[in-house]
Amino acid sequence: MTRVLVLNGPNLSRLGTREPDVYGATTYDELVGICTAEGAALGLEVEVRQTDDEAELVHWLHEAADTSTPVVLNPAAFTHYSYAVRDAIALRTAPLVEVHLSNPAAREEFRHTSVVAAVATGTIAGFGVDSYRLALRALAAS
């Protein structure tokens, strides 16, 4: 069974209460359940993690690179400015799919630029929690 890390950046632990008109009503715990269930249905062993700490996220990306583990990554605010996260993704040795619940291109202008997109395998955005499902399906098919 292929192991997949689903990594989430800052404020995603606040899902369900943080701007539900933008991010939906699904809680973080529900997102974890959705990802693990979708993964199991696809024959993937999914581990979901969340951090508000940039250094911890970089460490997890190094771990994934060192073990050739595919990643679904919602870098959240780090998307727009974290060259440390970008450089850690560039070290990847397996597919990495960048995901976003909302569509950053349809939001504030500062969200229009992703410094990580160029080093990700692909990006899925704007489909709420289905963005994660679609990313897991893409990894299962790769």
Measure CA 30 to chain center: 15
**3-state secondary structure string across 87-117:** HHHHCCCCCEEEEECCCHHHCCHHHCCCCCH
Catalytic residue among 23, 59, 62, 112: 23
Binding site listing:
74, 80, 87, 101-102, 111
Q: Which residues of 133-142 are buried (b: 16+ CB within 10 A; e: fewer)?
A: bbbbbbbbee
Measure CA 112 to chain center: 17
100 is catalytic: yes
Binding site listing for substrate:
74, 80, 87, 101-102, 111
28 is catalytic: no
Catalytic residue among 28, 62, 100, 112: 100
Q: Which residues are catalytic?
A: 23, 100
